[in-house]
Amino acid sequence: MSAIPWIILFTPLAAAAVILFLGRFSKPLSAGLAIGSAAAVCVLSWWLFTRPDPTETIRFYWIDFGEALRIPIGVTIDHLSKVMLVVVTTIATLVFTYSVGYMKTEEGYWRYFAGLSLFLFSMLGIVLADNFVMMFIFWELVGLSSYILIGHYFKKDSAADAAKQAFIVNRIGDFGFMLGILLLWAATGTLVFSELTGRVAEFASNPVYLTVACVLVFCGTVGKSAQMPLHVWLPNSMEGPTPVSSLLHAATMVAAGVYMLARIFPILHAVPVALDVIAWVGGITCFAAALMATQQDDIKRILAYSTISQLGYMVLGVASATSADVPMFHLFTHAFFKCLLFLCAGSVIVGMHHEQNIWKMGALKNKMPFTFLAMVVGSLALSGCPLFSGYYSKDLIIGFAVVKYPFLGWLSVVTAGLTAFYTFRLIFVVFLGKPKDDHAKHAEESPLVMLVPLACLAVPAWVAGYGFVEKMFFHVTEPEHVPHILHPILLVLFAAGVLSAFALYRSAAKDPVSIPFFANRLYIDNLYSWIVRNIQDGGAMVLSWADRWIVDLLVVQVPSKLAWACGFVLRFLQIGNIQAYVFFFGAGAIGLLYFLIMK
Amino acid sequence: MPTLANYLIVSGGLFSIGLVGVLLRRNILIIFMGLELMLNAANLSLVAFSRFNLGQDGLPGYNAQVLVFFIITVAAAEVAVGLAIIVALYRMRQTTHVEDLDTLKF
């Protein structure tokens, strides 16, 4: 029993290793091993889910300096990690299967599946980790696998750059995360989550320290979950293959930040100021990303911004809800419907021969009816249509947010309307209207291996919010004192969003609305490149100057020239006359004797 | 009965002759002989100091005289090595004049 979590953790790693060495010889072997290991892990996770929590956990000490520093490696099996295990492994199995169809004609097949298996291993490590150091190690490993998979088409400059950007931007957040971990450890002397919770309460006498530590830990979430201001990498990560975007950059990896916040939920709720910071970051991200999404033209980028926006909801939920189950509930439903949306987008992209611009699509409803249906289900869930999963989980977060942070709460209400607008803009432009390109005229439905995962995801995307599912996975309490007008307003905004999208985009051949401020992503990317170009390059120039003139000249050249000059002077004593040498020697000996005796 | 001063004067004379030979002669064999002379001058003063350093029983110490035998033995071996080097040098360069041996000069 207690070995099962370890088997779950290491099976994908073993699969990745085998694929890495043998996968290049056989495509079915790579795919089969990856899917097989994911499916096995999925079955084990579901089995684990049905069991009661184990009382004992296996834990060994990786580094043990007695009381001073103990770094354990251990797994934690509780309600939170079991739910996350089920979500991650189920979605991974479906996406792995879908990849067989999507990657059929692509190069680097084995490399791709090895990367996916490595990712699954790393993600499961985050989910199972029972302490900060182990979580941080796997946190970096998912960063690495994300880098490998975004850069799958590394021969394309944009993909290589996007991979690099994702890595570097995450590094900024992870640096804060590491500082936060160290501060918490310095204060409490432990790294294990369950022990931390108890000891932080003793430390309440120094709220400033604790606030700083928690905000720094939150930096990890800002990087990994693409919150403002570190969100720029996520849209660019869409350069990777679409199943990767679906699994890593929509459903699971980016949710790791929220999962981590849920893990330390009791600690965060002992620190009100840190919660305010988290709420503001989440709320602003959620609103700003939705604004950016309204003006994007790339089908995957629209979904990427909506992912950022939904992650903003979850982060806001962490700050405002009374239990970690509320943001986790949205993470749960979001994982299904956003994964579904991305897989549908992938299906559309394959049908369109790898065209991603929505203004070259159109009228795909009849060519790809199945994809259309699945995408509508996903969109309804995303935009919060009643009876679809997103409606339940998102409204819950909005309810809590309106009560605790009225301004951010109402901002997120407006965002809900925007979500409906941009989601259905996508649907109407891609699937209705007239075909705007030759590819769109001849598009064909995707193969069965891609459609079956769509069907398997469409069901949970539809029903994952219903009461019976919620009872099975979560224990959510409804927010109190919610204004009665909130739910009618949300419904009206949903309808307004869909109808305005219908009116504007039903038969538009090109975008009738043009807001450069949103289309250019609020100019944040431009600001960053300006900073890099001027400030960072300026710093680099100063450093280069220091390297050239201080290090190279003062530290290296000057002593070397000095030694050379001494040698140059002294070598004139080498006159090649042995008697002269004897004379120098004798004179020296006599001089030495003279000084020794006379002093 | 010669005194210590007589011995030391002879020793100093031998040393000076050797040193002058080393400094002034150009033939490497003669230089080598000068070196041996200086070595034996040092031996002589060692024996002389030992002979005139009387112990508490009024007898001189003989340790240095024994030591000098060892020195002479070792010096014989050293001369053999030195002469061998000179022979090898001569075979290579066809000269024993130190002025011709200045390869290491800058």
pLDDT number for residue A246: 87
B98 at interface of A, judged by CB pairs closer than 8 A: yes
Residue in B23, B104, B106 closest to A579 by CB: B23
Give the pair of three-digit tokens for residue B19: 């040193």
Percent of chain A with pLDDT over 70: 99
* Contact present, A246 and A343 (Cβ < 8 Å): yes
Q: What is the ipTM of this complex?
A: 0.76
Which chain B residues contact residue A576 at CB under 8 A?
102, 104-105
Domains of chain B listed by start with CATH number: 4-100 (1.10.287.3510)
pLDDT number for residue A579: 83
Which chain B residues contact residue A577 at CB under 8 A?
98-99, 102
Give the pair of three-digit tokens for residue A527: 């600001």
Tens of pLDDT, residues A326-375? 889 899 999 999 999 998 998 888 888 888 888 888 778 888 888 888 99
Which chain B residues contact residue A571 at CB under 8 A?
106
User: Residue A188 and residue A200: Cα distance in Å, rounded?
Assistant: 7
* Contact present, A249 and A159 (Cβ < 8 Å): no
Mean pLDDT, rounded, for A561-566: 95
Tens of pLDDT, residues A48-58? 888 877 656 67
Report the C-alpha dihedral over residues A587, A589, A591, A597, rounded to 10 degrees: -150
Whole-angstrom Cα Rg for chain B? 18
Write out residues 19-58 of B within 8 Å (CB-CB) of A: 19, 22-24, 31
Nearest to B13 by CA among B46, B37, B48: B37
Nearest CA in chain B to A583: B23
User: Residue A166 and residue A150: Cα distance in Å, rounded?
Assistant: 8
Residue A443 has pLDDT above 90, yes or no: no
Nearest CA in chain A to B35: A582
Among A62-71, A198-207, A426-435, A472-481, name the one with the lowest average pLDDT.
A198-207
| Mean pLDDT over the full length of chain A | 86
Tens of pLDDT, residues A143-190? 999 999 988 888 888 888 889 989 999 999 999 999 999 988 888 878
Residue in A574, A579, A582 closest to B106 by CB: A574
Mean pLDDT, rounded, for A405-426: 89
pLDDT number for residue B106: 62
Top residue of A564, A573, A581, A582 to mutate, by most chain B CBs within 10 Å, is A582
**Ranges in chain B, pLDDT < 50:** none
B85 at interface of A, judged by CB pairs closer than 8 A: no
More confidently predicted of B76 and A78: B76
User: Residue A9 and residue A6: Cα distance in Å, rounded?
Assistant: 5
The whole-angstrom distance between B101's CA and the closest CA on chain A is 7
Residue A461 has pLDDT above 70, yes or no: yes
Write out residues 532-591 of A within 8 Å (CB-CB) of B: 571-572, 574-579, 582-583, 586
pLDDT number for residue A78: 84
| Cβ pair A578:B98 closer than 8 A | yes
B24 burial via Cβ count (<10 Å: 0-12, 13-18, 19+): exposed
| Cβ pair B22:A582 closer than 8 A | yes
Which chain B residues contact residue A572 at CB under 8 A?
106
Nearest CA in chain A to B24: A579
Phi, psi of B62 (to 5 degrees): -110, 5
Residue A599 has pLDDT above 80, yes or no: no
Which chain B residues contact residue A574 at CB under 8 A?
104-106
Mean pLDDT, rounded, for A309-320: 90
* Contact present, A313 and A412 (Cβ < 8 Å): yes
Task: With residue A406 as reference, give the H or E element that holds it.
Answer: helix A406-431
Mean pLDDT, rounded, for A552-565: 93
Which chain A residues contact residue B101 at CB under 8 A?
578
